[in-house]
């Protein structure tokens, strides 16, 4: 069974740091690009970051650029999100999502998703 | 930056009724659009990709249509488990992937 399990969320003061992890199982992790998506309480989905299979290509949303760092360890089947200089507006559930290629069209979509981990930034 | 708008914000319907959800892009995204379903406390689930293709295991009552800037998700006959929030997502500028604000389908 394909599974993604996030961890590392918690309560942190503004300006603080957290490192999120996403443990992958049931598929060849090193063959898939990965993403982080977040959802503020009661709000919609916001794409946060993308990483290629090797980690050599990375993209960030403007809202987190310069503060968040995505990385992966293919030997450990794990995806990470290092979050620094956290702000109250970063409060959200953070999901990891696999970038899955749909062979017929050759396009990529988020499937599956993990269950998410909650990050709360507050003084 | 491509912006997605979804309408209506909330759709109140009864089981068995037809649901029609709209997603509009600020510029053409070709067919690079997907629909996701999210139930309370759960992760989103991919329903439709490339505007009109159902993902694995998605019932036939879900269908997607459209291209360019205007897209529609139709649920032909609502089942109790279909009451949820639905998001569209565009990836015409892959790997970036912006989402719409969502449409909540609730029980009338």
Q: What is the mean pLDDT of residues B66-95?
A: 96
pLDDT for residue A6: 98
Residue at token pair 């449409």? B103
Question: Distance of CA B41 to CAs A51, A80, A118, B37, B38, Å?
Answer: 26, 22, 11, 12, 8
With CB atoms and an 8 Å threshold, state whether B99 touches A44.
yes
3-state secondary structure of A76: helix
CB B101 within 8 A of CB B7: no
Mutate to test the interface with A, among B43, B51, B58, B99 (most CBs of A within 10 A): B43
- Interchain contact B9–A (C-beta under 8 A): no
Residue A65 CB neighbours (<10 A): 10
pLDDT for residue A104: 73
Confidence of residue B76 (pLDDT cuts 50, 70, 90): very high
| Dist. CA B62–CA B58, nearest whole Å | 7
CA–chain centroid gap for A60, Å, is 11
| Dist. CA B49–CA B64, nearest whole Å | 8
Check pLDDT > 90 for residue A103: no
Tokens at residue B61, please?
């009552």
- Interchain contact A59–B (C-beta under 8 A): yes
Window 37-66 of B: residues touching A by CB (8 A cutoff) are 38, 42-46, 49-50, 53, 55
CB A37 within 8 A of CB A97: yes
Maximum CA pair distance of chain B?
38
Window 69-98 of B: residues touching A by CB (8 A cutoff) are 87, 89, 91, 94-98
């Amino acid at each position: 069974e394909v599974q993604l399990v996030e961890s590392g969320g918690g309560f942190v003061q503004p300006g603080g740091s957290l490192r999120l992890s996403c443990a992958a199982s049931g598929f060849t992790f090193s063959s898939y690009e990965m993403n982080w998506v977040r959802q503020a309480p009661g709000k919609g989905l916001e794409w946060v970051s993308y990483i290629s299979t090797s980690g050599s290509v990375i993209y960030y949303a403007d809202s987190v650029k310069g503060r968040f760092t995505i990385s992966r360890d293919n030997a450990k089947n794990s995806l990470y999100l290092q979050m620094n200089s956290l702000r109250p507006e970063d409060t959200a559930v953070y999901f990891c999502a696999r970038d899955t290629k749909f062979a017929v069209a050759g396009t990529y979509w988020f499937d599956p998703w993990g269950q998410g981990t909650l990050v709360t930034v507050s003084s | 930056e491509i912006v997605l708008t979804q309408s209506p914000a909330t759709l109140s319907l009864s089981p068995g009724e037809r649901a029609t959800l709209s997603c509009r892009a600020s510029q053409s995204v070709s067919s690079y659009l997907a629909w996701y379903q999210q139930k309370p406390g759960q992760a989103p689930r991919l329903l439709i990709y490339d505007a009109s293709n159902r993902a694995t295991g998605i019932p036939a009552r879900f269908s997607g249509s459209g291209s360019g800037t205007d897209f529609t998700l139709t649920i032909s006959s609502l089942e109790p488990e279909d009451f949820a929030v639905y998001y569209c997502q565009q990836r015409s500028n892959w790997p970036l992937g912006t989402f719409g604000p969502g449409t909540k389908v609730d029980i009338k």
